[in-house]
Amino acid sequence: MGAIGNLAIWIAAAIILAGIVWFALLKPRFSVVLSSTAGETEALEDQDRRWIEDIVSALDNAIAHRICFPSSSIV
């Protein structure tokens, strides 16, 4: 194996190492996805899972409240 072969091995090792470092630094992202008859929309995205869960819970509660107590002001 000549100098070109050694260089190729070092380049491959550097690429693999960079990929491992990149993968280790990745953080998960969580989303709020709203679905309707018009399709799906990603309304919000963040790395803070708890915050996204709180928003989803608040949306669920608001929808449930709206279904249980519809507005009577519509004429």
Count CA within 13 A, CB hemisphere, residue 23.
6
Q: Give this prediction's pTM.
A: 0.59
- For the chain, what is the radius of gyration of the CA atoms? 25
Task: Summarize pLDDT for 8-61 with one digit per residue, the tens.
Answer: 999 999 999 999 999 989 999 999 999 989 999 999 999 999 999 999 999 999
Q: Tell me: pLDDT of 64 over 90.
A: no
* Sequence spans of domains, the chain: 3-68
Say how far apart CA 65 and CA 16 lie, in whole Å. 52
Say how far apart CA 1 and CA 15 lie, in whole Å. 20
User: What pLDDT score was predicted for residue 68?
Assistant: 80
